[in-house]
Amino acid sequence: MAAGRASLWALTIVLVLLDVGQTSVLPDAARAYAAAHGCDARLNAWCDANCPHAAAHGPLLARFDTTAAGHPPAWRCYSRGALSADTQRYERGTIFCTRDAQLRAELNACVDGHDVAGRAAAAPAPQCVVADAAQPSLPPAYEATGSERFLAFSVAGHEQLNKQRRALLHYMRLAAALGRTLVLPRVHVLRKDKRAWEGGASRGVASWYVPSGTGYFPLSAVYNTSRIAEYVPAVEIARLWQLSADDGVVPPADGPAVERAVERRIDVLFAADARVGHGPPCAPSADALVEFNGVRGVRAREVRCGLLHSEAPLRELAHVRTLGFADSFDQLPEAQATHLAPFLRFTDEISSAASAYVSRTFGSQPFLAVHWRRADFQLTRAARADVLLDARALIARVQAVLEQHGLRRLYLATDATEDEQLGLVRAALKPERVSWLADSERADMREAMDVANIEIAICAMAAHFLGTRTSNYSLTVREERRARGLSEGTHGFLVE
């Protein structure tokens, strides 16, 4: 069957390519889509039931095609206005939903002659072992009452913004593969005492990772959630709580963890086990009250220990309305995230603020952007000569790259706080920086979050970028640059 499917997808691509440029005088209803292999009605019906554009622009048509931005061909639900006159190929506009994994699953099920649940049940055993392997059958209360299935996740509390981004990419991909609606968590921002490093290594790594405060903000304050929904159906977590609340009360979008009496429910919760967690050991349980995404009192009807990474056992839970993953450390690797980057973009407000800063500061002059990571890397990367640079080495490297590319202007993003090191860099390179960033620990947490993301967007607009190896901040800049269409040759590392 695997070989048959490979042939099926090869044939799909050939049929689509052959179809380009052909026209037909037959009306839409009489023209089947060759790549659907006779499953047009099933695929189109799925689009009408699951793509939010259906209400205003339906009925929709499933097509294996591209976008205005030239993304690789994928299964998408298109409005008829986005298609050619014969409805066989994409031509214009943004009225479509990218649902590649889900439509592939529907097509496979149709061609195979049995449903998705039946196919998933025959999938190979998972490679990841759950600590509590002998799971009981689910009681009726777990059964979904509506058609929508949700996948919710929260990220380990000590992880910073760009690791939360990597987790988001991981769960975007997983939710799409499972055909579930992704529940977008609140992002959390940590206030940390960066001057803890001034006491030297004796302060230890732990002193950095213990935050002095945490703020929670809706994910829509950082990312354009409508772009995420082009890849996978998505709702913010407040909507999930509203759907599961007995009295309809919605927790606040920001602020600290809260206690409420309403029913906020996750049916099956997978929790990080004691080997990777920073809290008490996970214990399998039923009907437990847990903290999830900074909200206490969430009812988990069942807690299972271990974060599953294999899709097969999760497909067997297709009848469960809400799956949750608590305190996740999961991160999607850079190579796998490349095709998702166009769907994870900053809000218009963040992008506009970055564009305004670049226009005001640099005008039409091309510039070099540098991310110089110091802070915790002075301990965690102390032995990595390819990662950690002092001021003098940074100055030499930047001056060489400026000369190599004929650039005269520099933007510097850094978490360095040592006055001597920063003084040397300022004197030699005269970099531009967002004005108050050196004292960002005194800014409020929302402002600090916004400026950190605006800086990433600024770095993504540079003619060339040099980042710090192993830094997720630098990784985010590279992903943003790729999403903007900049070539791999325009970014590199401070230490090559």
pLDDT band per the 50, 70, 90 thresholds, residue 344: very high
Give the chain's domain count.
3
Which three-class secondary structure state does DSSP give residue 248? coil
| Residue 237 falls inside a structural domain | yes
> Is the per-residue pLDDT at 176 higher than 70?
yes
pLDDT band per the 50, 70, 90 thresholds, residue 139: very low
| Residue 464 falls inside a structural domain | yes
Single out the residue of 233, 240, 238 nearest to residue 266, CA to CA: 240
272 and 363: one domain?
no
**Are 97 and 230 within 8 A, CB to CB?**
yes
Q: Can you say whether residue 218 is alpha, beta or left, with left for phi > 0 and alpha for psi between -120 and 50 degrees?
A: beta
Measured distance CA(178)–CA(99) in Å, rounded: 11
Measured CA angle at 45 (ends 173, 75), to 5 deg:
40
Measured distance CA(114)–CA(117) in Å, rounded: 8
Decide: residue 288, CB within 10 A, 0-12 exposed, 13-18 middle, 19+ buried.
middle
Over range 104-119, report the average pLDDT: 63
The pLDDT of residue 286 = 86
| Residue 342 falls inside a structural domain | no
Domain end, chosen from 303, 335, 367, is at 335
> Is the per-residue pLDDT at 197 higher than 50?
no
453 and 355: one domain?
yes
71 and 173: one domain?
no
The pLDDT of residue 411 = 98
The pLDDT of residue 38 = 85
77 and 143: one domain?
no
Taking only the tens place, the pLDDT of each residue in 285-306 is 888 999 999 998 999 999 998 8
Measured distance CA(61)–CA(33) in Å, rounded: 9
218 and 104: one domain?
no
Torsion of CA 403, 404, 409, 413, to 10 degrees: -120
pLDDT band per the 50, 70, 90 thresholds, residue 416: confident
In this structure, what CATH number is given to the domain that contains residue 307? Answer: 3.40.50.11340
Residues with Cβ within 8 Å of 32's Cβ and at least 6 positions away in sequence, in order, are: 38, 40
Single out the residue of 211, 230, 223 nearest to residue 187, CA to CA: 223
11 and 33: one domain?
yes
pLDDT band per the 50, 70, 90 thresholds, residue 27: very low
Quick check: pTM over 0.85? Answer: no
In this structure, what CATH number is given to the domain that contains residue 474? Answer: 3.40.50.11350
| Residue 466 falls inside a structural domain | yes
| Residue 119 falls inside a structural domain | no
323 and 197: one domain?
yes
46 and 185: one domain?
no
Taking only the tens place, the pLDDT of each residue in 361-404 is 999 999 999 999 988 888 888 888 899 999 999 999 999 999 99
131 and 176: one domain?
yes
Residues in the chain: 496
190 and 300: one domain?
yes
Lowest-pLDDT range of 72-76, 181-185, 345-349, 353-357: 72-76
90 and 67: one domain?
yes
| Residue 340 falls inside a structural domain | no
19 and 162: one domain?
no
List the domain range (segments joined by +) for residue 356: 347-493
pLDDT band per the 50, 70, 90 thresholds, residue 212: low
Single out the residue of 433, 320, 318 nearest to residue 372, CA to CA: 433
- What DSSP character marks residue 224? -
| Residue 120 falls inside a structural domain | no
| Residue 253 falls inside a structural domain | yes
Mean pLDDT of all residues belonging to the chain: 79
